Chains A and B, each alone.
Chain A
């Protein structure tokens, strides 16, 4: 059982790192960004390149891969997302989904479709409650919690954070204070994308790297965003770990139903707390 809990927390940590950008982008820019999954996949592939082609160790490779995705994310923001402001929601979905499809085809073309397995970068276990766990997973959990703490402080204590919080509440009112709010939203988008890339990097050694890995997690991330509340930091945090736990516990008793349970939870949440878009 404790193994299952740690597994659930690991998934929760990854889900949080992945979903927070999606949630903030939706809350601030009102854009459902399917290209987020491409950023995640690209992060994982850049890790492969950094490990195998550049021959770096895991930590530098992870850093290089995450940072290398940022220019791509900036390009997506500048040339796709920024043109979608004020367009209808479904238009943005179609446009960003197209970006995802094109990007995945590009990845297939460059790297091929064969899944690339990676080994546990730490390869050490630690004992806890008399059971041993992969240290790597515990570190992912710790990292997710630190990232949440960092974001929380950023939104609570910094002026830029306050601008973003105000923008989430009423974008036009922030503009009317003479603040170029889109610039700050672009920063949020970049931070969220960087985290998505980091999520891809961190998750790659646990599953395997393949062109479609983004599609798998994308829908679960949407479930997290919907359950947690769009643009809500704490909500996304709690929903990530709750749904991570749902996946782990359902998976333990009946593997195939694990993801289905996530959508069942999402459906229940939607019934009691309808979306207001």
Chain B
């Protein structure tokens, strides 16, 4: 059933002190697709992700996952259902080692891993964690840096680690918030290639400011502007939309 809707919002609105950062958004994500969300700075893209992931509840509206209302389910509960995200500003833990970051990501991965049942950190390494973490680190190309302090990684490596953590959580929907922001050109190519490699395993939504980077990556594009979805469709179609051109380039 390729047409099944995995994630949906109905009229979600988020107001901060009366200011509507997200306003009446109806959004549908089909299982297995790769979708993009673009829009100028301050359009409400990150806030929309926060509503999808349950970082805070919407002021109005509902969020549905495979048809079930998850509006009141907190962020950690949604991760358990497979809704996983990364942040616009890389969010890995500088005060831990790379491997300790992975331990945290594997706590919720289930009882089959040693982590959830262990008290001491050292004991966590006794199960299949070494293989799992090596696997995840191998996927993103950080295997040699497992014992590094995270604070010593480059920003690009931190982004790759963040994606490795997300992969450990076995996402059914992965939401990437501007994964290329702050990376060098070389790193952008590496992360793009990484996303291409892993995206077959889940439904993907990617927020990006620069349209050109994700046109090849996504099959559907949504445009946000001032908290509203103003256009949606195939990338070429959307980019030809006069309203979108007006918002992006100031002319139709």
Contacts and interface: CB of A to CB of B under 8 A. Distances in A.
Interface residues on B, range: 20 to 34
B93 A159 contact: no
Interface residues on A, range: 20 to 34
Given A159-B121, A173-B92, 19 more contacts: A158-B119, A159-B107, A161-B121, A162-B96, A162-B104, A165-B96, A169-B94, A170-B93, A173-B87, A175-B76, A176-B75, A177-B79, A177-B169, A178-B76, A178-B79, A178-B80, A178-B108, A178-B169, A180-B74
A8 B131 CA distance: 51
B51 to A, nearest CB: 14
Interface of B: 53, 55, 74-76, 79-80, 84-85, 87, 91-96, 100-101, 103-105, 107-108, 115, 118-122, 124, 165, 169
A54 B92 CA distance: 52
Contacts of A174: 104
Contacts of B74: 175, 180
Interface in A139-161: 157-161
Nearest to B122: A157
Contacts of B79: 175-178
Pick from A160, A165, A173, A174 the residue with the most CB of B within 10 Å: A173
A172 interface: yes
A165 B92 contact: no
A276 to B, nearest CB: 16
B53 A178 contact: no
B95 A157 contact: no
A265 interface: no
A177 B75 CA distance: 9
Given A176-B53, A179-B107, A179-B108, A169 B95 contact: yes
